[in-house]
Amino acid sequence: MKAVRIGICGLGTVGSGTFNVLRDNADVIAARAQAPLVVSVVGARRDNPLCDLSGTRVSRDIFEVAKDPDVDILVELIGGTTVAKELIETAILNGKHVVTANKALIAEFGNEIFALAAKHGVTVRYEAAVAGGIPIIKALREGLAGNRIEWLAGIINGTGNFILSEMHDHGREFSEVLAEAQALGYAEADPTFDVEGIDAAHKLVILASLAFGIPLQFESVYTEGISKLTPQDMDYAEELGYRIKHLGVAVQSDAGIELRVHPTLIPKDRLLANVNGVKNAVLVEGSAVGPTLYYGAGAGAAPTASAVVADLVDLARDFSAGQKNRVPALSFVNKALQDLPIVPMSDVVTPWYLRMEAEDKPGVLSQVARILSEQGISIEALIQKAPAAGAIRVPVIVLTNRAPQGKMDEAVRQIEALDSINSSISCIRVEMLDG
């Protein structure tokens, strides 16, 4: 059995995790891959990797690894979209197959990277790029290949879900929990990617391409983060029977494709509402199978390494079977990928949660109801809370029926203009997730 030779570039959280999983599980991996998987070289800086490199060749120049004659597969785990892109292109031009966990790179430059790989007869795999250890890419690309995918919705950022869970369950401060997520290796190098939804948008773009056969298009995603969510909103949502989660949602309809990342109220009894901590979950509605749910760790060294190594095993199996590109990079063969219209957010219809501060006097709530009604928005529930100690205004929470964002934006603009209402209404979509 000829060994499959691997070059790992970047020995941070995921790189060290991958190195350790390949070493610790070498026997089962070789038995499944039909060949031993051997790390012939690592490309790393001198920044104390969390793995024991004794006996392993180390290069301080990752581009050397991309050209190394003893490397069959280059594993890119440095992150970012500049050097990482150049590194992967160099590897492809040198005939190496590539495995990466880099969702930013795939979401933004995947179309050209896959085209270059196809031209040079090599394969690029990226299971770790979406939902960490959950094999969601394999599920969409292979397990669900007989379905039309109607929609998918997922908690696809571990850091964000960890923060929301700790705030909700233990009343912890946002910034303190974010610091812990960073220390645990969950967060991106720039954690605003996690908290402002950019990382989730990268992942959603990849899922949508796999699901609907559209080219990768990061610029088309509507993105809202979690940094403005307050503990009050979490408490009121809970009282009304909902939890707030940060969701990526992709829907295919006659109008086109919805691509959106935003905080969402979800009924408490839905499975996604109960996905906590660093766990991720993706709910996929297939035309034949109905709803299926994929759950597991969305970040962290060993879970992400699990996905990286799964890609390596897949490639090793292709090598032993003498095959190449058995499974297209984006599930659909390249010439079948087609641009579909993206539904503008103003036309996206959901129920809504609104929280405002209102003067406690007759007629204020009827003004709010009138403005909503003029925009064709009907109220499902309206609750007025007791004022906080010393406060003149009282919190008012409104749950509405389904309304397009355009109509809701106009209603909120008019309500905020009322003297008796505060000028920054908290406005969160609701998803019923009826699968």
Ligand X SMILES: N[C@@H](CC=O)C(=O)O
Ligand Y SMILES: NC(=O)C1=CN([C@@H]2O[C@H](COP(=O)(O)OP(=O)(O)OC[C@H]3O[C@@H](n4cnc5c(N)ncnc54)[C@H](O)[C@@H]3O)[C@@H](O)[C@H]2O)C=CC1
Which residues carry out catalysis? 203
Among 18, 40, 111, 159, binds ligand X (CB under 6 A): 159
Among 144, 83, 183, 246, smallest CA distance to 100 is for: 83
The pair phi, psi for residue 361, each rounded to 5°, is: -145, 160
Q: Is 11 annotated as a binding residue?
A: yes
Residues 127-166 that bind ligand Y (CB under 6 A): 128, 132
Q: Is 22 annotated as a binding residue?
A: no
Contact present, 320 and 195 (Cβ < 8 Å): no
Q: Which residues contact 314 (CB under 8 A, 6 or more apart)?
A: 125
Segment interacting with ligand Y (CB under 6 A) among 72-80, 232-240, 335-343, 422-430: 72-80
Among 19, 126, 151, 186, binds ligand X (CB under 6 A): 186
**Residue 298 is a binding residue for ligand X (CB under 6 A):** yes
Among 43, 158, 296, 303, binds ligand X (CB under 6 A): 158
Q: Which two tokens stand for residue 32?
A: 């499944």
Q: Which two tokens stand for residue 307?
A: 């996905």
**Residue 312 is a binding residue for ligand Y (CB under 6 A):** no
Nearest-angstrom CA–CA distance, 312 and 37: 8
**Residue 184 is a binding residue for ligand Y (CB under 6 A):** no
Q: Using CB atoms within 10 A of its CB, is residue 143 exposed (0-12), middle (13-18) or buried (19+)?
A: middle
Largest separation between any pair of C-alpha atoms in the chain: 82
Among 17, 49, 132, 404, binds ligand X (CB under 6 A): 132
The pair phi, psi for residue 383, each rounded to 5°, is: -125, 130
Among 157, 217, 400, 405, binds ligand X (CB under 6 A): 157
- Compare residues 83 and 255 and give the one whose CB is closer to ligand Y: 83
- Label residue 296 left, alpha or beta by phi (over 0 means left) and psi (-120 to 50 means alpha): left
Segment interacting with ligand Y (CB under 6 A) among 29-37, 71-79, 90-98, 261-269: 71-79
* Cβ at position 423, least distance to ligand X in Å: 33
Q: Which two tokens stand for residue 149?
A: 């995918």
- Compare residues 71 and 130 and give the one whose CB is closer to Na ion: 130
Residue 3's binding partner among ligand X, ligand Y, Na ion, none (Cβ under 5 to 8 angstroms by kind) is none
**Residue 123 is a binding residue for ligand X (CB under 6 A):** no
Segment interacting with ligand X (CB under 6 A) among 78-86, 185-193, 286-294, 410-418: 185-193
**Residue 188 is a binding residue for ligand X (CB under 6 A):** yes
Residue 159's binding partner among ligand X, ligand Y, Na ion, none (Cβ under 5 to 8 angstroms by kind) is ligand X
Q: Which two tokens stand for residue 37?
A: 């998987």
Half-sphere exposure of 420 (CA within 13 A, CB side): 13
Residue 194's binding partner among Na ion, ligand Y, ligand X, none (Cβ under 5 to 8 angstroms by kind) is ligand X
Helix or strand holding residue 241 (H, E): none
Contact present, 96 and 205 (Cβ < 8 Å): no
* Cβ at position 158, least distance to ligand X in Å: 4
Q: Using CB atoms within 10 A of its CB, is residue 267 exposed (0-12), middle (13-18) or buried (19+)?
A: middle
Segment interacting with ligand Y (CB under 6 A) among 149-157, 186-194, 343-351, 381-389: 186-194
Cα-Cα-Cα-Cα torsion 132, 266, 371, 411, nearest 10 degrees, comes to: 0
**Residue 43 is a binding residue for ligand Y (CB under 6 A):** yes
Among 132, 74, 75, 123, smallest CA distance to 103 is for: 132
Residues that bind ligand Y (CB under 6 A): 10-15, 43-45, 47, 62, 77-79, 83, 101-103, 128, 132, 185-186, 188-189, 299-300, 304
Residues of each annotated binding site for NADP(+):
9-16
Residues that bind ligand X (CB under 6 A): 132, 157-159, 186-188, 194, 199, 298-299
